[in-house]
Structure 1
Amino acid sequence: MERTATGPAAAASAPLSGAPLPDGTAVVPVPAIADLLDGMPRQRHATTPAPASEPALAGPRPAAPLPSLPFPFPLLRPWRLLPTPTGTPFTFAYVAVLAVTSVFAALADPALVHTLHQDSSTDVAHLVRTPGLVLLASALWIAGGVLSPYALAFVLVLTALERRIGGARAACVFLAGHVLATLATEVPVGLAVLFGHLPATSLHRLDYGISFGVAAGIGSLAGLLRPWLRWPLLTLTAGTLLDDLIAFQDPMTNWGHLIALTIGVASWPFVRRWAQSAQGCGEL
């Protein structure tokens, strides 16, 4: 015998539309039944669908990535202060060469070292005879050795500059300061000797080292820094160089440092354009 459902279960399984039942009677639609029953609350239809709730078991949303902080921030990325063979090949190779020459200068016979320094000097006499050779050779020595402040400044400044504009362009900035500041200080000496204002011994003035290139690198790097770091760096550097000039211990070299710093500042339009093309950001 076939079983038929009766009672509430049957009512729940019955169609909700006006389709006829087996006995021929039609089912009254649900809204009509609701109208016949007093006190039955009607369902309110929202004009806009409510936002679907997130699953209860859904994990926390991933946090938005923090904005990357530009270099230099030594407390966050101290390893970027030092040169590496892959990241800054020019600075790394140059530091290696300077380390070798500094060790040699410290351990070799002082007379031999003095002779090499004289042969590498960018004085007027050497610039007239072999300008290209002495301009390159003079940049292979550190005046004062590896403990010189310019040695530390060379590592930090050239590393930061090369990371921003590339090795070839950083080399151009360094050489521009080294060569132009050297010529700017030695040419007046030659003219002064020519016109009798200085003795002939001034043509053989000992002049070598990397300080002019470092000063130009500082001035150039300042153009890539944020203003809150740019101007204090320039003020401190210029103040130190002016203090050395006022001391009048080596006025020609001190003038060369200021000229090299000015050359670095004058390179700001170029280094900013290079930084934008190399890394998409003109400031550090």
Structure 2
Amino acid sequence: MKVTDPGGVPRRHGLTALRPGRLLRALPTPLGTPFTFCYALVLLATALYTELGDEATVNQLLRESSTDAAHLIETPLVVLLASALWIAGGLYSLYGILFVLVVSALERRAGGARTAGVFLLGHVLATLATELPVAGAVAAGRLPEASLHRLDYGISFGVMACIGALAGLLGPRAKRTVLGLAFLMCAQDLAEFADPLASWGHPIALLTGMACWGLLRDNPRRGHPRRDQGAAERSAADGAVPGPLRAPRKAGQGGPAGAPQQRPGGVVAGGGVREEAFDGGCAERAGHRGGEPEAPRDVVRMEHDLGHAHGGEAGRVGVTPRVPGAVPLPRAADGRGEQRRGDADALQAGR
């Protein structure tokens, strides 16, 4: 059904909104969902071998991969891993289709490592929760010894755990829908009770996946890429803005607590060092050639040199220091030296 909104843009509702591109993006890919993709290839190979391989050989492999009580007592790790390599029902199993859709969707939201952990946890816990009571009942004499040897393999427990975990990462409406369908499947198994161990194992695996919600919700892969990029840009911009500038303090103006205070006359209180103002903002030591690096000197030595250069008298900032005595000038042969000396004395007296 095709409907046009008031703006004139056609909208599609119903099944026509499911585009082929969206369905293809739900399938596992080598780069996007490597765990699901590789695992699906293994399951496809074993399913094809079950359909096309020798029947006697297939039955022998399935018996050796069964997670019955006898094998769990003898080789628990081997059978727990081997039983998850087969699909009960072959290529036409419902759990094979759910594996491709559910596990890939969970991996896109939680990552490959966490998805593999949820799948393995649900598979192991549901298997042990259903098989160990059987072994205890046989040891107690309530069940025959033949109950220890049975075919128990497949990926249904792991898929149910992933369904429960995926529901916690969806929105409220989708979460209720997924959990409702999952519980209906478990209720149907318990109502039919065709396989008692599988019927009880599916709800146990579903609850195991739901128990992992707290471990999956804090995954950084679930963050919105544009939102995360905007936050990073704002953080970088905040770090690039310089701090507030402070106006220079005037003479006699108080500063922060604990900082040295500047007083009139260039004296800094608390530091014990007198600073002088010179033309050009720098002083050059007598006898030092320009351009040569000067050896570092401490503050006390600098103060002594400055005081000696001014004849032991330091004036305030902005006041031209007086030069004691007449300015000695070299006497020229033509007597002009006396005239220049007189001009200097007159200039000295005028100041």
Same fold (TM over 0.5): yes
Size of the aligned set, in residue pairs, is: 207
The CA deviation at 1:278 is 2.0
| CA deviation map 1:116-140 (0-9, x unaligned) | 0000000011111111110000000
Is the 1:219–1:264 contact (alpha carbons within 8 Å) kept by the matching residues of 2? yes
Structure showing greater relative contact order (alpha-carbon pairs closer than 8 Å, 6 or more residues apart): 1
The CA deviation at 1:205 is 1.7
Is the 1:74–1:81 contact (alpha carbons within 8 Å) kept by the matching residues of 2? no
The CA deviation at 1:77 is 2.9
The CA deviation at 1:78 is 2.6
The 2-side partners of 1:148 and 1:178 are apart by 17
The CA deviation at 1:273 is 1.5
Return the match for 1:279 from 222, 234, 242.
222
SS of the aligned residue for 1:77 comes to helix
| CA deviation map 1:240-272 (0-9, x unaligned) | 211111111111111001100010111111111
1:145 aligns with 2:119: no
The 2-side partners of 1:102 and 1:247 are apart by 26
Return the match for 1:108 from 53, 56, 62.
53
The CA deviation at 1:162 is 0.5
The 1-side partners of 2:119 and 2:173 are apart by 24
The 2-side partners of 1:279 and 1:271 are apart by 9
TM-score, reference length from structure 1: 0.71
| CA deviation map 1:42-81 (0-9, x unaligned) | xxxxxxxxxxxxxxxxxxxxxxxxxxxxxxx954733321
Q: Quote the residue 1:78 is aligned against.
A: 23
The 1-side partners of 2:147 and 2:97 are apart by 30
| CA deviation map 1:180-200 (0-9, x unaligned) | 100000010111101011110
Q: Quote the residue 2:154 is aligned against.
A: 209
1:230 aligns with 2:175: yes
The 2-side partners of 1:223 and 1:239 are apart by 18
The CA deviation at 1:279 is 3.1
Could you tell me which runs of 5 or more consecutive residues in structure 1 were left unpaired when the two chains were aligned. Answer: 1-72
Q: Quote the residue 1:35 is aligned against.
A: none
SS of the aligned residue for 2:66 comes to coil
Q: Quote the residue 1:219 is aligned against.
A: 164
The 2-side partners of 1:95 and 1:240 are apart by 23
The residue type paired with residue 249 of structure 1 is A
The CA deviation at 1:232 is 1.5
Q: Quote the residue 1:178 is aligned against.
A: 123
Larger Rg: 2
The 1-side partners of 2:41 and 2:181 are apart by 28
Could you tell me which runs of 5 or more consecutive residues in structure 2 were left unpaired when the two chains were aligned. Answer: 1-16, 225-351
The 1-side partners of 2:37 and 2:162 are apart by 16
The 1-side partners of 2:130 and 2:59 are apart by 22
SS of the aligned residue for 2:90 comes to coil
Question: How do 1:119-268 residues align onto structure 2 when only pairs under 5 Å count?
Answer: 119-268=64-213
The 1-side partners of 2:156 and 2:148 are apart by 20
Is the 1:238–1:258 contact (alpha carbons within 8 Å) kept by the matching residues of 2? yes
SS of the aligned residue for 1:229 comes to helix
Percent identity over the alignment? 57
